[in-house]
Structure 1
Amino acid sequence: MMKWLGYFLSDHTQDMTDKKSEEAPIRRLPEQEPEVIDKVLQDSWQNAKQITLQLNDDGYLNVYNISGIVIGANDNLIYLQTDKMVTINVNDIRHAKLKEGSKPI
């Protein structure tokens, strides 16, 4: 029974670490001009490069980050491939940048 206590404790510690990183506040990046955002999205789409987007949420009070590769666009929507496909309204993007070390796939 004693040897299992260490196992449960390490799982609990890892779970708490994961939750803490999820709850950490996200630093608000400066809002970019639409032309700059469009350039980053185009580069991701044409060269299959990973990007990180910061999106406005909850009436522009909160922000969150999402990373992936642009796989398509339609009107004001882009389709971002993360671990699943995500549809994002371009007007919700606050900041866009190429991920450091991103190379074409």
Structure 2
Amino acid sequence: MSKEESETCAARFFKNDYHDRGMLKWQGFFLSDHTSAIKKEAAQDIPVLRPEMNQSEIGRILNDSWESCTKVSIQLNQVNGNAFPVEINGYVKGYQEDKICISVKGNMRLISIESVKNVIKF
């Protein structure tokens, strides 16, 4: 078969016989880790943008939470890569100068008090 005949044969095949399945053909390349991560991300609650509180009100709620050992949800003046507000849920364990120490699932995090936008107690 000459080059010209093979090109004609290929062109006829793609024109009449070949049916592109689009994205279906790529789904086999997703690993189970990828699909579980996608499902986990989709199942997460999207945080609602809460109003900004003044520093005295934030301090009062954080102090009450520390004294009563109740969990708090702290919304920061930041957004994540998906443009959702960053929220930290944990227990107030103390403070250092202008930072508060929050226990999040057993890990300690220091957060600048000035980066806190809103706080609610659970």
Asked whether the two chains share a fold, i.e. TM above 0.5, the reply is yes
CA distance in structure 2 between the aligned counterparts of 1:70 and 1:49, rounded to whole angstroms: 8
The number of equivalent residue pairs is 88
Question: What's the counterpart of residue 75 of structure 2?
Answer: 54
- SS at the partner of 1:65? strand
Question: What's the counterpart of residue 121 of structure 2?
Answer: 98
1:76 has 2:120 as partner: no
CA distance in structure 2 between the aligned counterparts of 1:14 and 1:40, rounded to whole angstroms: 37
Question: What's the counterpart of residue 89 of structure 1?
Answer: 112
Q: Which one-letter code corresponds to 2:65 in the other structure?
A: S
Between structures 1 and 2, the one with greater helix share: 2
CA distance in structure 2 between the aligned counterparts of 1:15 and 1:31, rounded to whole angstroms: 32
Cα distance, 1:36–1:74 mapped onto 2, change above 3 Å: same
- SS at the partner of 1:27? coil
CA distance in structure 2 between the aligned counterparts of 1:88 and 1:16, rounded to whole angstroms: 29
Question: Given that residues 52 and 67 in structure 1 are in contact (C-alpha distance below 8 angstroms), is that contact kept between their aligned partners in structure 2?
Answer: yes
Residue segments in structure 2 that go unaligned for 5+ positions in a row: 1-30
CA distance in structure 2 between the aligned counterparts of 1:75 and 1:12, rounded to whole angstroms: 42
Per-residue Cα deviation, 1:21-47 (whole angstroms, up to 9, x for no partner): 45x653210000111101110011111
User: How many angstroms does 1:13 deviate by?
Assistant: 5.6
Q: Which runs of 4+ in 1 moved over 6 A?
A: none
- SS at the partner of 2:64? helix
2:47 to 26, 31, 39: 26
Cα distance, 1:53–1:74 mapped onto 2, change above 3 Å: same
RMSD after superposition: 2.4
Structure with larger Rg: 2
User: How many angstroms does 1:18 deviate by?
Assistant: 0.6
